[in-house]
Chain A
Amino acid sequence: GAVVSQHPSRVICKSGTSVKIECRSLDFQATTMFWYRQFPKQSLMLMATSNEGSKATYEQGVEKDKFLINHASLTLSTLTVTSAHPEDSSFYICSARERQLVYGYTFGSGTRLTVV
């Protein structure tokens, strides 16, 4: 089946620094990548949608200059949290789908970000 590899699984960073999270589709072409975050006891909330080679579409309330998304290839998408603050501490997870939706929505294993 389809696999999305997400790294790092856990990161602790200092306030004000930037953190990059990578998601790679290992055996299919991820034409679309969705980025979610989940705060404790909350549902996964869609942050942005990116199509390969295009600019990401951000959900209302998500700052595009703070959460930089790059989807330059069909197998790699990155989310960079710039100038991270403690309130950005959350579980970030990507979800990839290919054009034909043969594999459905494949999730990465998530990144737990803690900003101190």
Chain B
Amino acid sequence: RKEVEQDPGPFNVPEGATVAFNCTYSNSASQSFFWYRQDCRKEPKLLMSVYSSGNEDGRFTAQLNRASQYISLLIRDSKLSDSATYLCVVNRPSGGGADGLTFGKGTHLIIQP
């Protein structure tokens, strides 16, 4: 099983629609979870952290299910500017040192006018 697994897409979605991405991770010791956004040929940018209780930031909602080792991201009222690759990211416990991050391959989202 891959460390972080995502459906690569692409997801072609009309503007204004709601879209959901899922992600599974394999390391049960991971404690920190994030969604990053990466535009073509750019560095990843933090979209939001994911908390156990679920959290919302404007049109974006993230959920975490530790038992199933599953993370989701919901985007409501999608905008053209939401077109990007969304990366599911999980910390990789280093046993005392600073944790690195493990990235999924990303889900490519295309919002169509």
**Which residues of A come within 8 Å of B, CB atoms?**
31-32, 34, 36, 41-46, 49, 51, 57, 91, 93, 95, 97, 104-105, 107-110, 112
Q: Can you show 28 pairs from A to B with CB atoms below 8 A apart?
A: A31-B98, A34-B100, A34-B101, A36-B103, A41-B105, A43-B4, A43-B104, A43-B105, A44-B44, A44-B87, A44-B103, A45-B103, A46-B92, A46-B100, A49-B98, A49-B100, A91-B41, A93-B44, A104-B46, A105-B101, A107-B44, A107-B45, A108-B43, A109-B42, A109-B43, A110-B42, A110-B43, A112-B41
CA distance A25 to B101 in the complex (A): 18
User: Which residues on the B side are within 8 Å of A91 (C-beta)?
Assistant: 41
Q: How far is the CB of B85 from the nearest CB of chain A, in Å?
A: 10
CA distance A49 to B97 in the complex (A): 10
User: Which residues on the A side are within 8 Å of B45 (C-beta)?
Assistant: 107
The chain B residue with its CB closest to the CB of A101 is B98
* Other A-B pairs, 11, CB within 8 Å; known A49-B98, A97-B98: A34-B101, A44-B87, A57-B97, A91-B41, A93-B43, A107-B43, A107-B44, A107-B45, A108-B43, A110-B43, A112-B41
Chain B interface residue count, CB cutoff 8 Å, equals 20
User: Which residues on the A side are within 8 Å of B46 (C-beta)?
Assistant: 104-105
A51 contacts B97, C-beta separation under 8 Å: yes
CA distance A5 to B64 in the complex (A): 32
B94 contacts A49, C-beta separation under 8 Å: yes
Say yes or no: is B22 at the interface (Cβ < 8 Å to chain A): no
CA distance A97 to B100 in the complex (A): 10
> A108-B43, A109-B43 are contacts. A43–B100 as well, Cβ < 8 Å?
no
The chain A residue with its CB closest to the CB of B3 is A43
User: Which residues on the B side are within 8 Å of A46 (C-beta)?
Assistant: 92, 100-102
Q: How far is the CB of A62 from the nearest CB of chain B, in Å?
A: 13
User: Which residues on the A side are within 8 Å of B97 (C-beta)?
Assistant: 32, 49, 51, 57
CA distance A31 to B98 in the complex (A): 9
A-B pairs, 4 with minimum CB distance: A32-B98, A43-B105, A44-B103, A107-B43
CA distance A44 to B92 in the complex (A): 14
Q: List residues of B (81-104) whose CB comes within 8 Å of A's CBs.
A: 87, 92, 94, 97-98, 100-104
